[in-house]
Structure 1
Amino acid sequence: MVQLSHAQQSVQSTPGSLRPDMIAGLTAAAVVLPKAMAYATVAGLPVSVGLYTAFVPMIVYALLGTSRVLSVSSTTTLAILTASQLALVVPGGEPDKLLTATATLTALTGLLLIAASALRLGFVANFISSPVLTGFKAGIGLVIVLDQVPKLFGLHFTKEGFFRDILNLIHHLPETSLVTLTVGATALVLLLLLERRWPHSPAPLAIVAAGIAVSWLAGLGSAGVATVGHIPQALPSLVLPDVDLILQLVPGACGIALMSFTETIAAGRAFAVAGEPPILPNRELVATGAANLAGGLFGAMPAGGGTSQTAVVRAVGGRTQKASLVTAAAAAATMLFLAPLLGLLPQAVLAAIVIVYSVGLIRPAEFASIRKVRRMEFRWALAAFLGVLLFGTLQGILVAITLSLVGLSGQAANPRVHVVGRKRGEDLLRPLSTEHPDDETFEGMLILRPEGRLFFVNAQQVGDRIRALASEQKPRVLMLDLSRVVDIEYSALQMIIDGERSLARGNIQLWLAGLNPDVLAYIRASGFADQLGPNRMFSNTRAGIRHHQDSHAAAPSPPVEGAATT
C-alpha cells in the first residue's frame, strides 16, 4: 500500500477538525480569490486564469504537500515574473497565444520542479540569501505598483521599463479619467483602512463586492471605466502546451520555478508549529511541481505558497489541508455561478487590490535592520533591488542569485584567523580583542584559530595570514587550533605542510590541536601526522598549552634545525 504524505494524512484526519477547516477555507477564499484575479491582470491574463490558479494547483498541493496549512495559488512575485516571460514570447498579446504560452510556461515550471526533486536539489532554496531576497522582493513590489498605477488613472501606454514608464506616466497624466481615478482611489483608501483595522480579513472580497455593486448601479462601463469583461461561466478545460515554445520559455521557467519553490518553503516554514510534521524540501518540490504541471494543463498560471493567504488560514484556526480544499471548492463555485457578476468589476478596483498587497513587499525596516547588522549584505540587498529596476524581473533573479553566490564565495574566501588568548584568572580561551585588553597570552607560544572550511579558494590567504602573524610575533611554538575548521581540502593541507617547513627554517615549531575526526583522518592519510608526532598534535588547545608550559618550565626548547620527526 502506498504510504500517504503528511498532507494526505491531515486531509483524512478526524471529523472534529472539519468545522475549523471549513471556516478557515471560506475565509481564505474571500482573500485569495480577489487577489488571484488581480494577479492574473498583473500577468496580462484574463481574471479567469487567476481563478483557475486558485483551483487546480491548490487541490494538487493539498494532496501531496508536507505543510498542514500552506495555501498555494498565484503570488505577486510569480505574477510579475510570468508577465515578463509572456511579454517576450507573445509580444502582441493575442489572447489565444497568451493562454497557450501560459499553459506551457506553467507546465514547464512544474516539470522543472519535479526534475529538481529527482536530483535532490531541495537545498537550492537556500541559494538566495535573506538580504538579497529582501532587495529582490522590494524591487518586484515597486515594479508591480508602477505597473498598476496607470489603471488607477485610466491610462494606457506601452511599457518600456521601470524608469521610462515613470516618465510616460507623468507625460500621460493630463489624460486621466476622473471617474476611473475616483473609483480606484476610493477602493485603495478603503482597502488600506480595512487592512489596518482588521489585518488578514476578507477585506478584498468586500471591496470587490462594493466595486461590482457600484459598477452595476452607476453604469461605470458606459461611463468609460474599464471593467473585467466576459468571464467564462465554467470550470477550466484542458489546454495543451505548445512544444515549440519550450526552448524560449526554459530560462524564464527556471527563474519562476526557483522563486515558486523559495516562496513555498519560506511560507511553509514560517507557519509551521510545534508538533506538526517537518517541511521536507524535496517533497515540496514534488508537490509544487505536480501542482504547477496539473495547473498548466488546465490553463492556470505558475503557483506557489502564499504567505498572506496562509496567515489567514492559520489565524482563523485552520488545521489541515482540508482548508485548501474548501478554498478550491469556493473557486469552483465562483467560476460556475458568479462569473457574470465578476465581469462588472472595474479594473481600477483590481489595481487597488494589487497595489495594497504589493506594497507589503517593500520593507524599508528590513533594509535598515540589515544595514545595522551587516553593511556588506545591505549593499547586496540594494544591488538586488536596483537589479530588478534596471534589468527587469527575470534578470533580477540572476542578479539576486549571483550576488548571493558572490557573497558566499567572498565569505568562504576570507575566513577569519583569530589570535587566541585566555581570560585572566579563568580557563576561558577566546580571540584577543580590544574589548578584552587584559586577556593573557603564553610566553613563546602563538595560538591561531582559523574558522570555516579550508580549501583551494582560501588556502593561500590563510597561509599568508599565518606567516604574517608568525613573522610579526616570532614565537618558538605556533599552535593551530583547528577546532573551528569543519573540513580541510588537499590544497589547504599542502599549505599547512609547506608552512611547517617554512616555519621550521625560522626556528618555529608547528603544533596542531582540536582536529575533528574527518580532518584528523586526512592529516593521517597524508603522512603529516607521523611527521609531527604525538608531542605536536593535541586533542584540544588546553592540552597543547599545558604541554608547552610543562616543557618551558623544565627547560627551554632547543632551536629546531629542520622539519620535526618522530
Structure 2
Amino acid sequence: MRDHSFAHHILRLHLPVLDWVHGYQKSWVKPDVIAGVTAAAVVLPKAMAYATVAGLPVQVGLYTAFVPMVIYALFGTSKPLSVSTSATLAILTAAALGQVVPGGGAAQLAMATATLTLLVGSILVLAALLRLGFVANFISEPVLTGFKGGIAIVIVLDQLPKLIGLHVVKGSFFHNVSALVAGLPHASVATVVVGVATIAILVALEHFYPKSPAPLIAVACGIAGTALLGLQRYGVGVVGHIPTGLPSLVMPDLLLIEALWPPAVGIALMSFTETIASGRAFVQSGEPVPLPNRELVATGLGNAAGALLGSMPAGGGTSQTAVNRLVGARSQLAELVTAAVTLGTMLLLAPLIGLMPHATLAAVVIVYSVGLLKPADFRSILAVRRTEFVWALVALAGVVLLGTLKGILIAILVSLVALAYQVSDPPVHVLRRKRGTNVFRPVSAQHPDDEAFPGLLLLRPEGRIFFVNASNIAHKIGPLVQDARPQVVALDMRAVFDLEYTALKMLTEAEKRCRERGIAVWLVGLSPEVFAVVKKAPLGKTLGHERMFLNLEQALAAWHGMQKKQDGLRGIVQ
C-alpha cells in the first residue's frame, strides 16, 4: 500500500493534471466553462491575427491555440494560465522565418515553422532539466505589480483602435498614442456604437447581475448584431473567414537547425518569461504559485507537440489569462474548454465566430484588463519601501515603452542592481545593553539610557560577508574603532550566515593590525557553518577558544573578568 501511495505521489508530481482533477469541485464547472468559452473569444481572433503577423496562414493561429493549450492543461501548474501565442512571439517568429525561408512556399514555410517551434520546445525542456526555473525568482511582487499595470495600459492602447474602427500601424508607445489621436476624426461611428454598447452591456451586467456570464452575452449580442443587422454594411469590421479542418502532420527540416537555434533561444526565453510572469500575476490567495521548472516542461512539451501539428511558438498570454481569471476560471479545465472551442471552431463554428465584430472583442478585452492597473497596490508599496516602488514604476514604464520582454528584463535588472547595492553595503551596528536586562540592541536616540562599556566596542555586522562587501564593512568599522579607542572589539556574528574566503582573509589581516595596536578582536555568536570556516583558517588558531564566545553575555562576562584582573594587577603594582 505504501509503495502504491508513493508511486501515485510521483505520478501526480510529474503529471499535474492528476493533482487538480483529484481536488476538483463540482461548483467550479460552471465558472470554468464560462471562462474557457469567454477566453476562447479572445484567444482565437488574436491567435489568428498573430499568425498573420508571423507571415503564416490564419489557421496556424488556431493550431497554436489548440495543441499547446491541451498539453499545458495536462502538465502546467498555473490554474488560469491560457497558452497560445503573443505579439512578441509572432514578431520574433517572423524575423526568424524571414532569415531562412524568405519568400518561401507554403510547404517550406510549414517545415521551417515546425523546426523553429520544435527547437523552442526542446530548449524549454532542456532548461527544465538543468533546473533553470530559478530565474523566475528574480521577479519580485513589486515588479509583478508594475508588470500588470504596464500590461493593462498596453492592452487598452492596443485595443482602442479596434474599438473605434481605426487601422493604426503599430510602433512605439508614443507613436501609437499619436496615431490614435490623429485618427480620431476618422473613427467609424457605427464601430464606436458597437464598442460602447458592448462596454455598456458588460458594465451593466457586472453591476446588476454579477453572476451572469456577461462576456458571453456581450459576444453573443455582437455576433447577433452582425447576423441580423448587417453591421458590415455600416463599416463595422468583423473577424472574417476562418478556414476549417484539422491540422495535418508536419515534419521539421533538420537542415535548418543550425540557422534557427539562435532565434529559438530568444523565443524560448520570451515564452518562459511571459508564461511565468503571467502565471504568477494571476495567482489568487490560497492558490499554489506556479512552479518554474514545471512550467518550463509544460510549455516545452506544448511547443514540441504543437510543432508536429503546424503550430507556431507558444507561451502564456497575458490578456487572455487576464480574461480567463477575471471571468472566473478556477482550474485548468478552463483551458481545456478553450481548446475544445478552438477544435469546434476548426471543425464547425468558423462561420459563426467569423461574424464577431472586432469592436466587441476589443470591448471585452478592455473591460477585463483595466482592473490590472491598481493604484492602491502602488500606494501600498510606496508606504512600505520607496525602492520597491521605483521597481514597480520601472517595470510599468519598461513594459509600456519597450514591450513585455524588454520591460520585465529591465525591471529584473533594476531589482538585481538595487539588491546588489544593498548586499554590497550592509549595516554595521554599534551595540549597547538595555539596563537591567541581557538585551543588546543598536545605539539609538530613542534609547539614550542603554548601557555602554568603555574599552569594549560591541559591533554587529549583518548578512553574508563576502568579496563584494568585505571592504565596505572594513571601512565602516575602521572609524568606529578609531573613535572608541577600545581595548577589545567584539564582533557579534549572529546575523552573519556566511563568511567567504576573501572576507575571512581581510578579517585575519584586520585582526593582526588591531593586535599590533594593542586591540584584541573577539568573535561572538558564530553559526556552525561560519565557525567551521574560521576554525579551519589561521584566524581560528590565532583567536583560540579564549576569544570566541557563544553569545554576548559570555563575552561581557569575559570582559568583566579581564577588567578585574587588570585592576588586581594595578593594585599589586601600586
Stretches of structure 1 lacking an aligned partner (at least 5 in a row): 560-566
Q: Which residue of 2 aligns with 1:40?
A: 47
Q: CA deviation at 1:38?
A: 5.2
Alignment of 1:23-172 (within 5 A): 23-37=30-44, 39-40=46-47, 43=50, 45=52, 52-65=63-76, 67=77, 70-74=79-83, 79-86=86-93, 88=95, 107-172=118-183
Q: CA deviation at 1:107?
A: 4.4
Q: Which residue of 2 aligns with 1:230?
A: 241
**255, 258, 266: which is aligned to 1:251?**
266
CA contact (8 A) 2:239 2:353 kept: yes
**462, 471, 490: which is aligned to 1:479?**
490
Q: Does 1:272 find its partner at 2:272?
A: no
Q: Does 1:338 find its partner at 2:349?
A: yes
Alignment of 1:347-496 (within 5 A): 347-496=358-507
**288, 304, 307: which is aligned to 2:316?**
304
Change (3 A) 1:408 1:500: same
Change (3 A) 1:251 1:365: same
Q: Which amino acid aligns with 2:530?
A: V
Change (3 A) 1:150 1:246: farther
Q: Which amino acid aligns with 1:31?
A: T
The SS at the match of 2:390 is helix
Identity score, percent: 45
Deviates more, 1:240-249 or 1:420-429: 240-249
1: CA distance between counterparts of 2:518 and 2:338? Answer: 76
Deviates more, 1:325-334 or 1:113-122: 325-334
2: CA distance between counterparts of 1:39 and 1:436? Answer: 63
Alignment of 1:137-216 (within 5 A): 137-195=148-206, 202-216=213-227
CA contact (8 A) 2:226 2:357 kept: yes
2: CA distance between counterparts of 1:558 and 1:32? Answer: 86
Q: Which amino acid aligns with 1:260?
A: T
Q: CA deviation at 1:440?
A: 2.4
CA contact (8 A) 2:97 2:113 kept: no
The SS at the match of 2:134 is helix
- 1:402-442: per-residue Cα shift (whole Å, max 9, x none)? 21221221121111212222223332222222333333233
**11, 22, 29: which is aligned to 1:4?**
11
Q: Which residue of 2 aligns with 1:260?
A: 275
> TM-score scaled to structure 1, two decimals?
0.85
Deviates more, 1:180-189 or 1:259-268: 259-268
Q: CA deviation at 1:149?
A: 1.1
The SS at the match of 2:448 is coil
Deviates more, 1:368-377 or 1:355-364: 355-364
Q: Does 1:219 find its partner at 2:224?
A: no
> TM-score scaled to structure 2, two decimals?
0.84
2: CA distance between counterparts of 1:251 and 1:551? Answer: 65
Q: CA RMSD in A?
A: 3.5
Q: CA deviation at 1:206?
A: 1.7
CA contact (8 A) 1:5 1:64 kept: no
Q: CA deviation at 1:558?
A: 9.2
Stretches of structure 2 lacking an aligned partner (at least 5 in a row): 1-6
Q: CA deviation at 1:356?
A: 2.4
Change (3 A) 1:211 1:312: closer
The SS at the match of 1:486 is coil
